[in-house]
Amino acid sequence: MIINPLLRPHLTTLAATVTAPLVTRFAPSPTGYLHLGHVVNAIYVWGIARALNGRVLLRVEDHDRIRCRPEYEAALLEDLSWLGFEPDFGLEPLLRQSDTPFVYEKALAGLRATAHVYACECSRKDIGGERYDGRCRGRGLKVATGRGIRVQLGNDMEKFEDALLGRLFQLPAEQCGDLLVRDRDGHWTYQFAVTVDDLRQNVTLVIRGADLVSSTGRQILLARMLGRRNAPVFLHHPLIHDDLGEKLSKSAGDTGVRELRSSGLSAPEVIGIAAARVGLVDPGMPIHASEVSRLFEQRVLPGP
């Protein structure tokens, strides 16, 4: 049975707030193998989309060209298929960020016309923390190899309603300072690439882990600067943590989908383990991918 209804959004309210049509996305990065944390995200993505007659987009977020590997991409697609999570679009042809650099160039050109965009030569060591203090903003540096590109953010407060966490308030300029959109190695950053993609792919509901809550305000602001009128609705779900209280990483072999498959577990058993680890169901309850929408209906599931 479902043991924590607070982990489920109220579907009627959620449906009323999402701009139609409902499109959400499953967007893994091929920098490692899938683990139970990804399965939790898939449960929320497919479960809510199916419960609300929405569509699921698959997007491979390979903006990090240093850490991404073709073998990881092949493995995540295989594991996703084995689990039974089938996207509605984005698989054939596969949507990869690395295949559309012109999209980000065009978006950056649009920002140049409406916002203060400038070159920055600071490294992470130079910054010394998450917030950038704008030290290169007035230097007039030219865009060149070894220099990043930043966009100046305004000082406005961003207010948004998270579908699980409720009303949140964020000050992006205080949290992160001027936003890095391309790094010193010439790679598009996560913050920029996902905001551009969610806009151009008409994603209206972003479902992701609670570790990304702090990114939301800056992405809403950036999307508005890029011309998006209505921000997507955001839902940040609970994370699975290890014994030390840290969120799972892709190197966590004991929770890797491949390792769990090799141990003889079935796909419904793996999905059930992930759902139980975040309190959606009691332990020991297998769940087929085709049934995850039932986890978000406003009633209690029967036992196995």
Which domains are present in the chain? 5-99+160-167+192-296 (3.40.50.620)
pLDDT at 219 over 90: yes
Which of residues 302 and 49 earns the better pLDDT score? Answer: 49
pLDDT for res 301: 46
Q: Give me the pLDDT at residue 2, please.
A: 67
d(CA 181, CA 106): 13
Tell me the range of 87-96, 120-129, 291-300 where mean pLDDT is highest: 87-96
* 299 has a pLDDT exceeding 60: no
**Band (304; pLDDT cuts 50, 70, 90):** very low
